[in-house]
Amino acid sequence: MTDKTVAAASPTSGDAAAAGTGAEMPYARATHAARGTGRVDAATGAVVSPIHVSTTFERAADLSYPRGRVYSRADSAAYDEPEAVLTTLEGGAESMLFASGMAAAATLFQALPQGARIVAPEVMYWGLRKWLIDVARPAGIGVAFVDMTDMAALAGALDGGADLVWIETPSNPLWGVTDIAEAARLAHRAGAVLAVDNTAATPILTRPIEHGADIVMHSATKYLNGHSDVLAGTLTVSVGAAGDPLWQRTRMLRGMNGSVLGPFEAWLLLRGMRTLAIRVERASANAAAIARHFSGDPRVRAILYPGLPDFPGHDIAARQMAGGFGGMLSLCVAGGRDAAITMAGRLRLFARATSLGGVESLIEHRASIEGPTSPVPDDLLRVSVGIEDVGDLIADLDRALGR
Ligand code: PLP
């Protein structure tokens, strides 16, 4: 990979494309992330927002709720700032926080009409795929899995009709790239909503709504928070889809199901988002350097990273990811499953742990987590590249690969 392909454009500049989206975007994404909403507490002048812990809100003498809030299962003051920052970053109309990424996605799926049909990727975050098979299908929701790197396959699947197209790009853990604009065109032609799991790319690199998506989802547990200490999820809706019954029902179900985030977690998430741009830039640069370093190394059967020029989908990724290709990559170790597990066992700097998007580097043998129905090769190690010194990371991987 050339340096040019690693850093195609600065994510801290050039947000003119935000014009026409709901949230005002006068500054670059990095500035919005760093300053948050820029609000100063009116009572105290505090530049850091307080943690709102109240679960209940006062009625006026006539029993009305003049400030619009009733009870924190429906809506919490603790959500105002993190939701506003995320809405601006994603260029949407409004956002909702949830107790986890799974809760965010599941609530959206539950809001679909009875007998709805979802078209989802064959390779996607394993937990959500399992939810679609084990929970959605038995509940009468039709689910078709297709290769989302192949837009002809998506068009074919949509011949059967659909209410929701779900994509994830780059997608866990093979990092296949989906053309968001084309998926949006096909979904809308079929009368379906396009929802994008943007966890791996983050709004610093990709803003799916600019490419035609209706709803963006995050496991905010990952990059948005970035410190492996908060479990959270988010949905953001485009201006065009905000009035849809699907979004309104999703909001109603969040309150009815109580799949809400605690105030302290919401505050930590807000704090994490303020360093999002700098963390994503650093993790992306580190991942690109690692991919480049081990590319062609005989100890590695394959490196899966959308930033490599010969990776299928690289051109689409270069079009829809600005400023880098993310901090996630997978290494397929020559010698198969045992060699991969031995290699992971020798690492000192990388923690052998699930999850991704934190400041620390993690590595995981996905096939053993996902089980026998997983489409993941058993020589694959998924790597969440952190923000450590890249020389130290490369040296650790190099030593662990052995001779
Ligand atoms: N989507 C992606 C891409 C993920 O990696 C994950 C978690 O690993 C989820 C969704 C689910 O999010 P959570 O673990 O916050 O429920």
- The pLDDT, as a whole number, for residue 164 is 98
Q: Which of 100, 219, 224, 234 to mutate to test the pocket of ligand 1 (most atoms within 8 A of CB)?
A: 219
Distance 43 CA to ligand 1 centre (A): 38
- The pLDDT, as a whole number, for residue 25 is 63
- The pLDDT, as a whole number, for residue 229 is 98
Which residue did the predictor score with more confidence, 12 or 389? 389
Asked if pLDDT for residue 285 goes beyond 80, the answer is yes
Between CA 108 and CA 120 the distance in angstroms is 14
Q: How confident is the model over 312-328, as pLDDT tens digits?
A: 999 999 999 999 999 99
**pLDDT confidence band for 26 (50 / 70 / 90):** confident
The average pLDDT across 367-375 equals: 89
Q: How confident is the model over 28-67, as pLDDT tens digits?
A: 999 999 999 999 988 999 999 999 999 999 999 999 999 9
Percent of the chain with pLDDT over 70: 94
Q: Ligand 1, atom 12: nearest CA belongs to which residue?
A: 101
Distance 102 CA to ligand 1 centre (A): 6
- If one counts every other C-beta atom within 10 angstroms of the C-beta of residue 164, the result is 23
Could you tell me the domains of the chain? 29-273 (3.40.640.10), 276-401 (3.90.1150.10)
Distance 59 CA to ligand 1 centre (A): 38
- The pLDDT, as a whole number, for residue 37 is 93
Residue pair 183/204 in contact (Cβ under 8 Å)? The answer is: no
Distance 71 CA to ligand 1 centre (A): 28
Q: Which of 107, 123, 125 to mutate to test the pocket of ligand 1 (most atoms within 8 A of CB)?
A: 125
Q: How confident is the model over 63-91, as pLDDT tens digits?
A: 999 999 999 999 899 999 999 999 999 99
**pLDDT confidence band for 310 (50 / 70 / 90):** very high
Residues with catalytic function: 73, 125, 197, 222
Residues with CB under 6 A from ligand 1: 100-102, 125, 127-128, 168, 172, 197, 199-200, 219, 221, 231, 233, 355-356
- The pLDDT, as a whole number, for residue 169 is 98
Average pLDDT of the chain, as a whole number: 93
Query: The whole model's pTM is what?
Result: 0.94
Supply φ then ψ for residue 166, to 5 degrees.
-110, 125
- The pLDDT, as a whole number, for residue 10 is 37
- The pLDDT, as a whole number, for residue 18 is 38
Q: Ligand 1, atom 5: nearest CA belongs to which residue?
A: 125
Between CA 243 and CA 246 the distance in angstroms is 8
Sheet holding 215-219, edge to edge: 94-98, 233-237, 215-219, 193-197, 164-168, 117-121, 142-146
**pLDDT confidence band for 98 (50 / 70 / 90):** very high
Asked if pLDDT for residue 11 goes beyond 90, the answer is no
**pLDDT confidence band for 403 (50 / 70 / 90):** confident
- The pLDDT, as a whole number, for residue 163 is 98
Q: Ligand 1, atom 14: nearest CA belongs to which residue?
A: 101
Distance 222 CA to ligand 1 centre (A): 8
H-only helix segments in 176-262: 180-189, 202-205, 245-257
Asked if pLDDT for residue 5 goes beyond 60, the answer is no
Q: Ligand 1, atom 15: nearest CA belongs to which residue?
A: 101
Tell me the torsion sign for CA atoms 127, 133, 138, 140: positive
